[in-house]
């Protein structure tokens, strides 16, 4: 039961779907479609394949909903990410191709044209472009962990489950190293300051 005025948790919805209220799965779909779309896009899935991957993700989740144990302590959202990740991995493996460039537009907002000076806007855009280019040069595993870390609702434990890491320590270590590599790539791409 949920308190009056609060939305039911994913796990409560799953329990109700398992009990026969199957139309409620649409709440899960609407709640998580956008964030899974960003995740799939960041993994290098071409725009033309996004809808297919997402449809397959939610179809598998719905088809297997009775096997999800709501008492296990695993949040349903991390289960959805794991399904999406497996589908993306399978598709990219089938095609034998590397992921396309990754763009994390949502991670760094575009400049506010009304409140920033033109020089600040240009400098910020150049910095964001350097970050995006550096992200595209990272290996897929590093891009994935950085992308997952930007989903503020996922804990290190859930990232561990999605990525199949052996421990939370391995997640934090990998994230630290990935961010260090990203920073190094960004610093290398900074324009040289002319000597005076």
pLDDT the model gives residue 5: 67
Q: What's the pLDDT tens digit per position in 83-112? A: 998 888 888 777 665 444 344 444 444 445
Q: Using pLDDT thresholds of 50, 70 and 90, give the confidence band for residue 41.
A: confident
Q: What's the pLDDT tens digit per position in 43-81? A: 778 888 888 889 999 998 998 999 999 898 888 998 999
Residue 143 structure tokens: 């891009």
pLDDT the model gives residue 103: 42
pLDDT beyond 80 at 24:
yes
Threshold 0.85, pTM exceeds: no
Buried b (16+ CB within 10 A) or exposed e, 41-65: bbbbbeeebeeebbebbbeebeeeb
Q: Using pLDDT thresholds of 50, 70 and 90, give the confidence band for residue 191.
A: low
Q: What's the pLDDT tens digit per position in 126-180? A: 777 777 788 888 888 888 888 787 765 677 788 888 888 888 888 888 888 888 8
Q: What is the spatial distance between Cα 131 and Cα 151, in angstroms, rounded to a whole number? A: 18
User: Is the pLDDT higher at 123 or at 141?
Assistant: 141
**Percent of the chain with pLDDT strictly greater than 70:** 77
Q: Which residues contact 100 (CB under 8 A, 6 or more apart)?
A: 44, 46
Distance between alpha carbon 143 and the CA centroid of its chain, in Å? Answer: 9
DSSP for 49-108 reads HHHHHHHHHHHHHHHTGGG--TTSS--HHHHHHHHHHHHHHHHHHHHT-PPPPP--GGGS
Residue with tokens 């990232």: 159
Residue 70 structure tokens: 């709501």
């Amino acid at each position: 039961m949920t308190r009056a005025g609060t939305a039911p948790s994913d796990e409560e919805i799953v329990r109700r779907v398992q009990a026969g209220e199957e139309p409620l799965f649409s709440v899960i779909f609407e709640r998580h479609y956008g964030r899974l779309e960003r995740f799939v896009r960041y993994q290098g899935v071409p725009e033309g394949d996004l809808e297919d991957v997402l449809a397959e993700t939610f179809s598998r989740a719905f088809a297997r909903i009775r096997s999800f144990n709501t008492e296990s302590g695993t949040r349903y959202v991390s289960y959805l990410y794991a399904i999406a990740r497996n589908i993306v991995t399978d598709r990219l493996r089938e095609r034998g191709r590397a992921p396309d460039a990754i763009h994390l537009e949502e991670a760094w907002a575009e400049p506010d044209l009304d409140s920033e000076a033109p020089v600040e806007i240009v400098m910020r855009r150049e910095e964001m472009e350097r970050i995006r280019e550096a992200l595209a040069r990272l290996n897929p595993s590093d891009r994935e962990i950085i992308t997952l870390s930007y989903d503020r609702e996922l804990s290190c434990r859930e990232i561990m489950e999605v990525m199949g890491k052996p421990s939370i320590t391995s997640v934090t270590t990998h994230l630290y190293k990935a961010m260090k590599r990203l920073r190094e790539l960004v610093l290398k791409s900074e324009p040289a300051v002319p000597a005076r």
